A and B are shown apart, each in its own frame.
Chain A
Amino acid sequence: MSKKTIELVNKNLAKRKRAEKRFRLYGISAIGFGLACLLFLFTDIIGKGHTAFLQTYVKLNVTMDAGVLEISDINNETEVAAANYQGVIKQALRDRFPDVSGRRDKRKLYALVSNGAGFDLRKELEAKPELLGQNFDIWVLADDDIDTYIKSRGDDPAQAFTERMSDKQLLWVETLLAEGAIEKRFNRVFFENGDSREPEIAGIRGALMGSLLTLFVTFILSFPIGVAAAIYLEEYAPKNRFTDFIEVNINNLAAVPSIIFGLLGLAIFINLFEMQRSIPLVGGMVLTLMTLPTIIISSRAAIKSVPPSIKEAAMGLGASKMQVILHHTLPLAMPGMMTGAIIGMAQALGETAPLLMIGMVAFIVDIPGAINDPATALPVQIFLWSDSPERAFVERTSAAIMVLLGFLITMNAVAVWMRRRLERRW
């Protein structure tokens, strides 16, 4: 009989081993799938975005002609500010390609250079008034179509993206390129400017400042409140229905979709209290409500990890409850709480949907400087740009994503480092 059983087992053994192998394979492929997605996502974003860190510039030989600029007095600030710099650039382009005639061709020619190039000239002139009337070489921003062409061209003109350029423009660009008057440089504009409709002068500075201000408000509000709530729940809360109710609410809030918090902000802060739309203050308040559960939960864990013996020793020496908390529990739990707070802030930094609801999606050129200036945030800027049809905005969107991911990775790395270095094991 036992022989029969062993035969039965042996007969199935190969099959069972195969099943075992298959199962392992499923597991490995599941993990492989996840990691492949991660890898693909990052390479896709970086592949699309790395080009945005370089920007095409065109060398022009400009003459700061007072007549063209319409400047009669160099010391008159308003006149210098409102001068016709675009005219000087157009003049320079016409001088460079003297055989261009006809309105349409001229307009095509002018389109080689960005509309923002005038600002560069203005800055130059404001810094050095003696340049008036002089003739000099200057590198100005190229238009985004030229930029896209140059970047997609590489060393082989056949591969280039030429859909938005006319044949004549191609010819001009190739001429300029051949004589070294077109160059790619580090894209400072991207980090120094606010939003713009022109891709080549659009930057993330405004959005970045908006995000920082919003995060500042979020941190100032959510960290003290979250820590206070955690202390109450861990140290004071009696075991009763009210405490249970608070805990249920915190757990539920942690799972409420973020867009609902946006609806709350819209209905309460903007509609009921008539606060201004699009400002980091309201954005920060909404994100505070959203991140509070995260901070409370991690702060509670940090408080729990402080050994009771320390608290008991302090109490035994006559410390009051408040003294025990302020002098012993809080300092010992602080690294854990900060770690939780950083992770909560990283969450808030990446959040978009609630900010859409409270109007932080406006087109804002100015760089916000205070918590009640209209602003957008970095993720919202990504959302706005991703809707733009220009190819140059695609690379800028990807570059903005890279900046955002850079911030998030740094924040999380700091959190991990803090947990390793500062958290004490008892």
Chain B
Amino acid sequence: MDTSTLFMTLLIVIAVAYVSGRKRAMSLADKSKGGFSNLNSLPFYHGALAALWCGIPSLLLLLGWKLFENSIIENLIISGFPDAVKSLPESELGLMMNTVRNIAEGANIGVDPAPYLLEAAARLQDVEATSQFGVTAITISLCVAFACAAIWHIYPEKKARNQVETTFKNLLLVSASLAIFTTVAIVFSVLFESLRFFEKVPFFDFVFGLEWSPQMALRADQVGGSGAFGAVPLFAGTLLISFIALLVAVPSGLMAAIYLSEYASTKVRQIVKPLLEILAGIPTVVYGFFAALTVAPFIRDSGGWVVDFMGLQMVVSSESALAAGLVMGIMIIPFVSSLSDDVIAAVPQAMRDGSLGLGATKSETVKNVIIPAALPGIVSGVLLAASRAIGETMIVVMAAGLAANLTANPLESVTTVTVQIVTLLVGDQEFDSPKTLSAFALGLMLFVVTLLLNVIALHVVKKYREQYE
């Protein structure tokens, strides 16, 4: 039975357990003693308890089995290889394993495989069939056994309700804790691979190194391919593009928010605000396409013209930081404007009235009263926008370059942390080369920086917010 059929079967058994548990509880409700009132819990709870008893263990078992099945089978197969093959490095064993899988699936692999591979493929089919049979037999019998036990164990005084309610609460708790597990998983996955990377490349070389060329030598005696993992050019490129983006987004986002909340009529506001928010809903890959095919060529051509006109000796790259930054800025305009809108709206009306009553114009009120009052919120919004810009991937992957230039010239091509993560990890990779691991180190940096920005943003709001009410 394949896994989805097995899953469906289990669900059916669970449903049957619920129905029969309910039935049994109802039949136990003695009419002479006042019907249901002699049951401690409603029949629903008895049924639900039976369903929980048979569902949770078997589904957990199925999940665990499926999670670890592959790696266990792989180890079994590899341990059956001849000794000479077994001592190969991990990456080659992985390739070997793929060949075995392909043979087992009947795919044509071109050349005649070695006999031990054929043998392994046969064994793989065998083990997989056994494993599938095993998991089917065990989960279904477990499910049925628990269901029978739970249903047989129903008696009028049983406190099914308390048990079901506690389990319900615990299931909710587990769901809520998933956020913690995710954070922990992120930290561990990035941290472990990064630590492995820092064993090979010293931490300070990574953080302060000025040269980035993550090509590793294929052979130990190869010349000039040692690879340089200095991440400063990447940080500089990321900051440059994010800075350009903020330069576009902060003034226009802030002014848009001020205009919409202080000047615009309700009608204009109702139309314009959703329209601006569309900008935030457009997928980043669309912005990337727009940047790469429309904005970047435009900047290259018009920029080239300007450079010629001014008689400068410069080349405007077709992957300029300016193009990526501009488009990214457009993307975060609504982000800045809606965050600022919220904080501006939170400034009490009395302060505006006071200022206007003293004879200030509207713009003076905005500049001298509202913005100072809303400043912590605005600053935190800008920080959040910055963290957005730093972590943005698709726009820069499509519109920014790959070459790690250390430059502050927005017309040149720069690369960013996210671009490098994508280029290093897309496609097949070996997990023991520093080249691949460096992507995780970059991921760690990215995670830490964005987290810090968020924490600071929250802190700014908490600490400096004026309490008006």
- Interface residues, chain A, CB within 8 Å of chain B? 9, 16-17, 19-20, 22-24, 26-31, 33-35, 37-38, 41, 44-45, 48, 224-226, 228-229, 231-233, 236-237, 245-246, 249-253, 255-264, 266-268, 271, 273-275, 289, 292-293, 296, 320-322, 346, 349-353, 356-357, 359, 361, 379-380, 382-383, 386, 394, 397-398, 401, 404-405, 408, 412
**A35, A37, A293, A349 interface centre (most CB from chain B within 10 Å):** A37
In the complex the two chains form, what is the Cα distance from A263 to B438 in whole Å?
12
Give the top 7 A-B pairs by smallest Cβ distance, nearest first.
Answer: A257-B391, A27-B259, A350-B283, A267-B189, A30-B255, A228-B175, A23-B363
Beta-carbon contact of B283 and A351 below 8 Å: yes
Instruction: Choose from B164, B193, B394, B431 the contact partner of A383 (Cβ within 8 Å).
Output: B394
Instruction: Verify if B60 is at the interface (C-beta below 8 Å from A).
Output: no
Beta-carbon contact of B179 and A249 below 8 Å: yes
In the complex the two chains form, what is the Cα distance from A361 to B258 in whole Å?
42
In the complex the two chains form, what is the Cα distance from A187 to B392 in whole Å?
34
Instruction: Choose from B67, B161, B190, B363 the contact partner of A20 (Cβ within 8 Å).
Output: B363
List 16 additional A-B contacts (Cβ < 8 Å) besides A292-B179, A353-B284, A353-B397: A16-B364, A20-B364, A24-B259, A26-B255, A26-B259, A34-B276, A228-B171, A236-B173, A249-B183, A257-B388, A266-B425, A289-B182, A356-B425, A357-B426, A380-B285, A408-B283
Within 8 A of A (CB), among B415-462: 418, 421-422, 425-426, 431, 439-440, 443, 446-447, 450-451, 454, 458
Instruction: Choose from B252, B282, B439, B443 the contact partner of A30 (Cβ within 8 Å).
Output: B252
Beta-carbon contact of B286 and A260 below 8 Å: no
| Complex contacts, B255 vs chain A, CB 8 Å | 26-27, 29-31
Do A255 and B450 contact each other (CB < 8 Å), given the known contacts A228-B175, A273-B67, A275-B70? yes
Chain A, Cβ-Cβ closest to B425 = A357
Beta-carbon contact of B182 and A264 below 8 Å: yes
Number of B residues with CB within 8 Å of any CB on chain A: 91
DSSP majority for the B interface? helix
Q: Which of B144-152, B287-295, B299-307 contacts A (4 or more CB under 8 A)?
A: B287-295
| Complex contacts, B172 vs chain A, CB 8 Å | 228-229, 231-232, 236
Beta-carbon contact of A386 and B288 below 8 Å: yes
In the complex the two chains form, what is the Cα distance from A401 to B394 in whole Å?
14
Do A17 and B398 contact each other (CB < 8 Å), given the known contacts A34-B334, A289-B182? no
Give B339 Cβ to nearest chain A Cβ, in Å: 12
Beta-carbon contact of A382 and B256 below 8 Å: no
Give B36 Cβ to nearest chain A Cβ, in Å: 13
Chain A, Cβ-Cβ closest to B333 = A34
Do A225 and B446 contact each other (CB < 8 Å), given the known contacts A24-B263, A236-B169, A273-B70? no
CB<8 Å pairs between A and B, sample of 22: A23-B366, A28-B259, A31-B259, A33-B252, A34-B276, A38-B279, A237-B176, A253-B183, A255-B450, A256-B447, A257-B390, A258-B393, A263-B186, A267-B440, A273-B67, A292-B178, A353-B393, A353-B422, A379-B285, A383-B398, A386-B292, A397-B289
| Complex contacts, B179 vs chain A, CB 8 Å | 229, 246, 249-250, 253, 292-293, 296
Instruction: Verify if B135 is at the interface (C-beta below 8 Å from A).
Output: no
Give A297 Cβ to nearest chain B Cβ, in Å: 11
Give A295 Cβ to nearest chain B Cβ, in Å: 11
**A17, A22, A322 interface centre (most CB from chain B within 10 Å):** A322
Give B410 Cβ to nearest chain A Cβ, in Å: 19
In the complex the two chains form, what is the Cα distance from A312 to B2 in whole Å?
47
Give B308 Cβ to nearest chain A Cβ, in Å: 25
In the complex the two chains form, what is the Cα distance from A383 to B333 in whole Å?
23
| B258-280 near A? 1/0 per residue, CB < 8 Å | 11100100000000100110110
Chain B, Cβ-Cβ closest to A320 = B165
| Complex contacts, A19 vs chain B, CB 8 Å | 361, 363-364
Give A221 Cβ to nearest chain B Cβ, in Å: 10
Chain B, Cβ-Cβ closest to A411 = B281
| Complex contacts, A289 vs chain B, CB 8 Å | 182
Do A260 and B447 contact each other (CB < 8 Å), given the known contacts A232-B176, A267-B193? yes
Give B461 Cβ to nearest chain A Cβ, in Å: 12
Instruction: Choose from A30, A35, A225, A231 the contact partner of B178 (Cβ within 8 Å).
Output: A225
| Complex contacts, B446 vs chain A, CB 8 Å | 257, 259-260
Instruction: Verify if B5 is at the interface (C-beta below 8 Å from A).
Output: no
Instruction: Verify if B362 is at the interface (C-beta below 8 Å from A).
Output: yes
Beta-carbon contact of A255 and B393 below 8 Å: no
Instruction: Verify if B180 is at the interface (C-beta below 8 Å from A).
Output: yes
DSSP majority for the A interface? helix
Beta-carbon contact of B454 and A255 below 8 Å: yes
| Complex contacts, B252 vs chain A, CB 8 Å | 30, 33-34
Do A404 and B286 contact each other (CB < 8 Å), given the known contacts A246-B177, A260-B447, A320-B161? yes
Do A31 and B422 contact each other (CB < 8 Å), given the known contacts A263-B440, A267-B193, A350-B284? no
| Complex contacts, B164 vs chain A, CB 8 Å | 322
In the complex the two chains form, what is the Cα distance from A359 to B440 in whole Å?
16
In the complex the two chains form, what is the Cα distance from A262 to B443 in whole Å?
10
In the complex the two chains form, what is the Cα distance from A274 to B90 in whole Å?
14
Instruction: Choose from B189, B276, B421, B458 the contact partner of A259 (Cβ within 8 Å).
Output: B421
Instruction: Verify if B209 is at the interface (C-beta below 8 Å from A).
Output: no
| Complex contacts, B178 vs chain A, CB 8 Å | 225, 229, 292
Give A225 Cβ to nearest chain B Cβ, in Å: 5
Beta-carbon contact of A353 and B394 below 8 Å: yes
Beta-carbon contact of B394 and A405 below 8 Å: no
Do A268 and B189 contact each other (CB < 8 Å), given the known contacts A23-B363, A38-B278? yes
In the complex the two chains form, what is the Cα distance from A324 to B363 in whole Å?
52
Instruction: Verify if B116 is at the interface (C-beta below 8 Å from A).
Output: no
Instruction: Verify if B387 is at the interface (C-beta below 8 Å from A).
Output: yes
Beta-carbon contact of A228 and B165 below 8 Å: no
Do A20 and B362 contact each other (CB < 8 Å), given the known contacts A30-B252, A257-B450, A258-B393? yes
Chain B, Cβ-Cβ closest to A416 = B274
In the complex the two chains form, what is the Cα distance from A346 to B278 in whole Å?
12
Give B321 Cβ to nearest chain A Cβ, in Å: 19
Beta-carbon contact of A352 and B284 below 8 Å: yes
In the complex the two chains form, what is the Cα distance from A251 to B394 in whole Å?
23
Chain A, Cβ-Cβ closest to B391 = A257
Chain A, Cβ-Cβ closest to B366 = A23
Chain B, Cβ-Cβ closest to A358 = B425
Beta-carbon contact of A259 and B190 below 8 Å: no
| Complex contacts, B393 vs chain A, CB 8 Å | 257-259, 352-353
Beta-carbon contact of A37 and B279 below 8 Å: yes
Beta-carbon contact of B175 and A229 below 8 Å: yes
| Complex contacts, A351 vs chain B, CB 8 Å | 283
Beta-carbon contact of A35 and B275 below 8 Å: yes
**B193, B362, B422, B450 interface centre (most CB from chain A within 10 Å):** B422
| Complex contacts, B367 vs chain A, CB 8 Å | 23
| Complex contacts, B254 vs chain A, CB 8 Å | 30
**A17, A19, A257, A322 interface centre (most CB from chain B within 10 Å):** A257
| Complex contacts, A258 vs chain B, CB 8 Å | 391, 393
Give B39 Cβ to nearest chain A Cβ, in Å: 14
Instruction: Verify if B384 is at the interface (C-beta below 8 Å from A).
Output: yes
